[in-house]
Copies of this chain bind each other. A is one copy, B any other.
Amino acid sequence: MSWNLTTDRPIFSQIMEIISQNIISGKYAPGEKLPSVRDLAAQAAVNPNTMQKALSELEKTGLVFAKRTSGRYITEDIAMIQELKSHMAQEKIQEFLKSMESLGISREETAALLTEILKGEKEA
Protein backbone atom coordinates (compact mmCIF):
# COMPACT_ATOMS: atom_id res chain seq x y z
CA MET A 1 0.00 0.00 0.00
CA SER A 2 1.37 3.40 -0.95
CA TRP A 3 0.18 6.04 1.47
CA ASN A 4 1.06 9.18 -0.41
CA LEU A 5 -0.29 11.74 2.00
CA THR A 6 0.01 15.46 1.45
CA THR A 7 -0.47 18.34 3.85
CA ASP A 8 -2.75 20.46 1.69
CA ARG A 9 -5.82 18.43 2.54
CA PRO A 10 -7.08 16.72 5.70
CA ILE A 11 -5.18 13.48 6.14
CA PHE A 12 -8.13 11.47 7.44
CA SER A 13 -9.99 12.43 4.27
CA GLN A 14 -7.15 11.28 2.04
CA ILE A 15 -7.02 7.98 3.91
CA MET A 16 -10.75 7.49 3.36
CA GLU A 17 -10.24 7.99 -0.37
CA ILE A 18 -7.33 5.58 -0.59
CA ILE A 19 -9.12 2.80 1.25
CA SER A 20 -12.28 3.35 -0.78
CA GLN A 21 -10.27 3.07 -3.98
CA ASN A 22 -8.61 -0.12 -2.78
CA ILE A 23 -11.99 -1.65 -2.08
CA ILE A 24 -13.46 -0.53 -5.39
CA SER A 25 -10.49 -1.69 -7.41
CA GLY A 26 -10.50 -5.04 -5.65
CA LYS A 27 -7.18 -4.73 -3.87
CA TYR A 28 -9.19 -5.32 -0.74
CA ALA A 29 -11.49 -8.30 -1.27
CA PRO A 30 -15.09 -8.29 0.01
CA GLY A 31 -15.19 -9.70 3.53
CA GLU A 32 -11.45 -9.33 3.96
CA LYS A 33 -10.15 -8.39 7.36
CA LEU A 34 -8.31 -5.11 7.63
CA PRO A 35 -5.18 -4.66 9.72
CA SER A 36 -5.85 -3.12 13.12
CA VAL A 37 -6.17 0.61 13.58
CA ARG A 38 -2.75 0.72 15.21
CA ASP A 39 -1.09 -1.29 12.45
CA LEU A 40 -2.67 0.77 9.69
CA ALA A 41 -1.64 3.94 11.48
CA ALA A 42 1.93 2.68 11.71
CA GLN A 43 1.96 1.74 8.02
CA ALA A 44 0.65 5.13 7.00
CA ALA A 45 2.88 6.90 9.52
CA VAL A 46 0.00 8.81 11.04
CA ASN A 47 -1.41 9.03 14.53
CA PRO A 48 -3.74 6.18 15.50
CA ASN A 49 -6.43 8.75 16.27
CA THR A 50 -6.29 10.00 12.71
CA MET A 51 -6.60 6.49 11.30
CA GLN A 52 -9.44 5.79 13.71
CA LYS A 53 -11.28 8.85 12.48
CA ALA A 54 -10.83 7.89 8.83
CA LEU A 55 -12.10 4.36 9.48
CA SER A 56 -15.06 5.35 11.61
CA GLU A 57 -16.08 7.87 8.95
CA LEU A 58 -15.71 5.18 6.28
CA GLU A 59 -18.00 3.03 8.36
CA LYS A 60 -20.80 5.52 7.83
CA THR A 61 -20.62 4.91 4.09
CA GLY A 62 -21.09 1.19 4.67
CA LEU A 63 -17.90 0.14 2.90
CA VAL A 64 -16.40 -1.32 6.06
CA PHE A 65 -17.80 -2.48 9.37
CA ALA A 66 -16.29 -3.18 12.78
CA LYS A 67 -16.64 -6.21 15.00
CA ARG A 68 -16.04 -4.67 18.38
CA THR A 69 -13.10 -6.73 19.58
CA SER A 70 -12.27 -8.77 16.53
CA GLY A 71 -11.32 -6.20 13.96
CA ARG A 72 -12.59 -4.38 10.91
CA TYR A 73 -13.81 -5.97 7.71
CA ILE A 74 -14.61 -4.97 4.16
CA THR A 75 -18.28 -5.13 3.27
CA GLU A 76 -19.45 -8.25 1.43
CA ASP A 77 -22.10 -6.35 -0.47
CA ILE A 78 -20.64 -6.75 -3.95
CA ALA A 79 -23.54 -4.94 -5.59
CA MET A 80 -22.88 -1.91 -3.44
CA ILE A 81 -19.20 -1.89 -4.38
CA GLN A 82 -20.03 -2.19 -8.06
CA GLU A 83 -22.53 0.60 -7.89
CA LEU A 84 -20.09 2.84 -6.09
CA LYS A 85 -17.47 2.05 -8.69
CA SER A 86 -19.53 3.20 -11.64
CA HIS A 87 -20.85 6.13 -9.67
CA MET A 88 -17.37 7.35 -8.79
CA ALA A 89 -16.17 6.75 -12.34
CA GLN A 90 -18.93 8.96 -13.69
CA GLU A 91 -18.13 11.56 -11.08
CA LYS A 92 -14.41 11.54 -11.91
CA ILE A 93 -15.17 11.90 -15.61
CA GLN A 94 -17.51 14.82 -15.12
CA GLU A 95 -15.09 16.49 -12.76
CA PHE A 96 -12.29 16.02 -15.28
CA LEU A 97 -14.26 17.45 -18.19
CA LYS A 98 -15.30 20.38 -16.05
CA SER A 99 -11.78 21.20 -14.96
CA MET A 100 -10.58 21.01 -18.57
CA GLU A 101 -13.36 23.34 -19.64
CA SER A 102 -12.35 25.78 -16.94
CA LEU A 103 -8.96 25.87 -18.64
CA GLY A 104 -10.72 26.77 -21.87
CA ILE A 105 -10.39 23.32 -23.40
CA SER A 106 -13.57 21.94 -24.93
CA ARG A 107 -14.80 18.38 -24.56
CA GLU A 108 -13.87 17.61 -28.13
CA GLU A 109 -10.37 18.97 -27.65
CA THR A 110 -10.05 17.01 -24.45
CA ALA A 111 -11.07 13.80 -26.16
CA ALA A 112 -8.60 14.50 -28.94
CA LEU A 113 -5.78 15.10 -26.46
CA LEU A 114 -6.59 11.88 -24.66
CA THR A 115 -6.68 9.64 -27.72
CA GLU A 116 -3.43 11.20 -28.83
CA ILE A 117 -1.78 10.31 -25.55
CA LEU A 118 -3.05 6.74 -25.66
CA LYS A 119 -1.88 6.39 -29.26
CA GLY A 120 1.57 7.59 -28.26
CA GLU A 121 1.75 4.99 -25.51
CA LYS A 122 0.86 2.10 -27.80
CA GLU A 123 3.71 2.97 -30.13
CA ALA A 124 6.16 3.19 -27.28
Q: Give chain A's interface residues, CB within 8 Å of chain B.
A: 8-10, 13, 21, 24-26, 85, 88-89, 92-93, 96, 99-100, 102-105, 107-108, 110-111, 113-115, 117-118, 121
Contacts and interface: CB of A to CB of B under 8 A. Distances in A.
B111 A93 contact: no
Contacts of A21: 102-103
Taken together, the copies of this chain in the complex come to 2
Contact of A93 (B25, B104, B117, B121): B117
Contacts of A26: 104
A61 to B, nearest CB: 15
Given A8-B13, A85-B103, 11 more contacts: A8-B10, A24-B103, A25-B102, A25-B104, A26-B104, A88-B103, A92-B103, A93-B117, A96-B96, A107-B121, A111-B114
A88 B110 CA distance: 12
A113 B89 contact: yes
